[in-house]
Amino acid sequence: MMEVNKIYNEDCLVGLKKLEDNSIDLIITDPPYNIGKDFANDSIDEEEYLKWCKNWISECVRVLKVGGAFYLTLGWQCVAEIKQIFNKEEFMRLKNWIIWYRFDGWKGDKGFAQSHEHILYYIKDNVPPFDLTEFGKHITEKRKEAGYKTVDKLMEDMGLYKLVNRKSGKSGYFSGAGFVESGKKKPTLQEMVKLNKLLELDKKYQIDIKSVDKKKYNVLFNKCDACDDVWLNPKSERKRLGHPTQKPTKLFKRIITVSSNEGDIVLDIFMGSGTTAVSCKELGRNFIGFEVSKDYCEIAKKRLEQNTLTKLNSESISPPKPKGMGIQDGRII
Ligand SMILES: C[S@@+](CC[C@H](N)C(=O)[O-])C[C@H]1O[C@@H](n2cnc3c(N)ncnc32)[C@H](O)[C@@H]1O
């Protein structure tokens, strides 16, 4: 394993090769968006760019632990194409497509100001691909054998779904609509683990939970369910330290807090000015970073030297609570 708490001044594809399979707890990275900024790989032919993205995405998937999360920040320019690349990674599940409203919109071309970025949030959940209709039928059979007359009772015992009262006066299970028995929904690793516990599933549906790090459970199983996927804060970083696209530490600290535990290893393969490293240092996580530019490595090193541990202010890093509609700072919230 590579030494942790270091930023390696090298190409990410070279660095990634030195990492073992399933060795990283969380990946958070902010790649070049291919929009012509003044750093490597930001101004190349689109086909070449996407090919390059595919290479480092597959390497990231390889090094990520089962149950680990992968957050990728992206502009609107290529987010759809990059999601297509992920669609072919069979063990990656899109958990959220987050919109980060960064406030300082750029109003080019007389269109609407471009004020948001995208964050794709994936989990490596290793549920093997199988025929969903067949699986749905199998669950119905096994549920009945286990004495569960209704799906609701099974869902309740799985402990993953909440009974809610709907406006119509009826009650139902929150997020239960797409339950696996319908044959339409691919089960999550979390559901597979619970189903295996409660029903005697066929061998082909048994999950090797030994390969899931127990520490990952409370991360994988959702510290973050309570917040929504549109983030109205923080604003873009104002105090840039020599990097044109420095991200706010508050943004990365939120992600690191909800998707890792203290002592975990966080990887950023496009470290830039070191925002991920500084955030990790403040939150007691280990990091490994790659950055191809020597100058940006120097900036990151200085930031890390200057940064002393700050007390974790949970309020400043917690995800924004949904507010009622209103106007704030001249815009609709
Ligand atoms: C969008 S910036 C990251 C900014 C960073 N999040 C921050 O807050 O400072 C992308 C970075 O990737 C670096 N980069 C581009 N190609 C690379 C490669 N092949 N390997 C490693 N780093 C690379 C660029 O030099 C640039 O600093």
> Which pLDDT belongs to residue 231?
92
Nearest CA to ligand 1 atom 2: 272
Angle value at C-alpha 303, between 298 and 307, nearest 5 degrees = 150
Whether 245 is in the pocket of ligand 1, judged by its Cβ within 6 Å, is: yes
Per-residue pLDDT reduced to its tens digit, 8-37: 999 999 999 999 999 999 999 999 999 888
Rounded CA separation 247/83 (Å)? 21
Distance 86 CA to ligand 1 centre (A): 20
Note whether 228 and 239 are within 8 A (CB).
no
Residue type, 163: L
Q: Which residues of the chain have pLDDT under 70?
A: 174-178, 211, 214, 216-227, 308-333
Exposed, middle or buried: residue 108 (CB in 10 Å: 0-12, 13-18, 19+)? exposed
> Which pLDDT belongs to residue 310?
44
Whether 291 is in the pocket of ligand 1, judged by its Cβ within 6 Å, is: yes
> Which pLDDT belongs to residue 270?
98
- Per-residue buried b or exposed e for 197-213, using 16+ beta carbons within 10 Å of the residue's own CB: eebebeeebebeeeebb
Distance 318 CA to ligand 1 centre (A): 26
Q: What is the pTM of this model?
A: 0.82
> Which pLDDT belongs to residue 62?
96
Neighbours of 250 (CB within 10 A): 16
Nearest CA to ligand 1 atom 8: 246
Whether 16 is in the pocket of ligand 1, judged by its Cβ within 6 Å, is: no
> Which pLDDT belongs to residue 217?
64
Whether 179 is in the pocket of ligand 1, judged by its Cβ within 6 Å, is: no
Whether 2 is in the pocket of ligand 1, judged by its Cβ within 6 Å, is: no
Distance 42 CA to ligand 1 centre (A): 9
> Which pLDDT belongs to residue 125?
79
Nearest CA to ligand 1 atom 26: 272
> Which pLDDT belongs to residue 332?
31
Q: Which domains does the chain have, with CATH numbers?
A: 6-126+219-332 (3.40.50.150), 132-211 (no CATH)
Per-residue pLDDT reduced to its tens digit, 165-199: 878 888 877 666 567 888 888 888 888 888 999 99
